[in-house]
Structure 1
Amino acid sequence: MRMLALHLGVLAVLAAAQFLLPAYHHTNAARIMVLAVYAIGYNIAFGYTGLLSLGHALFFAAGMYATGLLVDRGGEPWLALLAGLVAGGAVAGAVGLLALRTAGPAFMIVTLMFAQAFHLAILYWGGFTGGDEGFTLSGAARRLGPLDLADPTTRYFVALALVSVAMLGTLALVRSRLGRVLVAVRENEERTRMLGYDTFRAKLLALMLSGLASGAAGSTYGLMFGYVGGSFAAIQYSILPLIWVLMGGAGTVLGPLLGTALMFYLIDLSSSVTTASQAVVGAALIGLILFAPRGILGTLRERGLRGLP
């Protein structure tokens, strides 16, 4: 109950921030919350199951393009949003059936290859997908019934609802029997298999749940900010969630949100004072590896907050 109260408290602070933040940070907060859902999805695969993927941009972009292309061609936004969510999970399942036959560095390379193939397909069929320039979504395409996602307040609360579902869903997952099996797979897959668990099925389920969250984040991001582009399928968007999770704390429920917020503002603030913002990010990551190798919340859990999920 203490852990549930902690997570509900964080969500309450985010809800209260809607009324306190200036316009610039208000928009940033909505963006961070949606990207945090993407990081939460990545954390299910990497943080809890030990699946180091470099192909998650495929799931994020699959959700974004499934939704964006449907609404751009006159589809119902609610159905398009659902299609994006399903696309992320379905693509993750299809990739997992092949990629999970490998392990370690081979799994990382295979997922990277699938993501790069999808990115190249977007560029090749630019007449249909918009290519690297992408395409914008009209105001009418961004209305979910009475909800106008072009309105900053509506956009903020939709982002808050999405991150709430993702965060509390992950909390329920890690407390469930399946969640404990996933952690066992991460810690010692061979021993878990010897105990009678189907580790391939567990990893496939984890990857599909991860793809589902990533697809939901991608589809919502496209609708909220009115843009769909090939850059979201590039390797950069596979590396970013890994960095966010590592910074906040892999295998913690709140870590992805914390890491996404810190990295977003680290890049934002350093870009305002220097053109070498990536050097600042690199220095921050080196410091993280040296002084908090388990991430911020992972290190706190190791040093005292034992019950932090």
Structure 2
Amino acid sequence: MIMANGQEVRQTITQAELLQQAIQRLEAAGVPDARRNAEWILCEVLGCSRAQLYAYPERPVDAARQAHVAALLTRRLRREPLQYVLGYVEFLGLRLEVGPGVLVPRPETEWLTEQVLQEMPAAPAQRVLDVGTGSGCIALAIKHHRPDAEVWACDISLDALTIAQRNARRLRLNVHWVVADVLATSFPESVPGSFDLIVSNPPYLAWHEADELPPEVRDYEPPIALYAGEDPLRFYRALARHGHVLLKQGGRLACEVHAHYGSDVVRLFERSGYEKVRLEHDLAGNPRLVWAWKLS
């Protein structure tokens, strides 16, 4: 008999038995989508696909792998994000490292990046700036799908940029990384304009929304990447101001927005002198993406 993280580990157990045990423990702890979480953890440890996990239910799992499953399961039971537990997330065909200190890329941001890629003209080659890059998901996806683009990305967090740079090296994608604070007046001096496109998924939650968040987000993801303070529009004000300096004539802003504040961001950009400002809804029907053109 072996003990791992306070849990009993048997010398032999089948994949099916181990999966069922994991599901039961996750369900008892109130972890959402317990079965899918258990599947992800077992597939990661066993090095198999979901189909293979169910195709060979009687395949034995040795004690070392049982211990590894138990260790990952313990972290998930504490409500640590599954992506942190696994150490990666899939984003538009790229496997990106994520962990403490960096925001977990959301499906909404993946959808936004798809819209940006569809809108980018085939020629000439575009100069793109990703503000608040985090894991580098937007910048790296753009560079991967549009290798002709010159892509710059910035963040105020050194922890986030370290992870983004590791992702870039592993994926062999050439992105220019800069430490910069978009709220600083001197921000335009940190990045070399002019750009055809500035894209950003800035912090947009107000402090009072923290209690409404699941523990995976509230207790683990970096507050600096989540909260705008009590003014949910302050990052958009900064982007509007800097866009006039950094965008070429005819250049565009593309910003992810809080579902509750999409119309407010549209009005802010219009009052800031941008034209053809439009709000797009994501696949769930929520306001999610604001476009704004610098035409003069």
With the length of structure 1 as denominator, give the TM-score of the two structures: 0.21
Higher RCO (Cα < 8 Å, 6 or more apart) = 1
The structure that is helix-richer by fraction is 1
With the length of structure 2 as denominator, give the TM-score of the two structures: 0.22
The structure that is strand-richer by fraction is 2
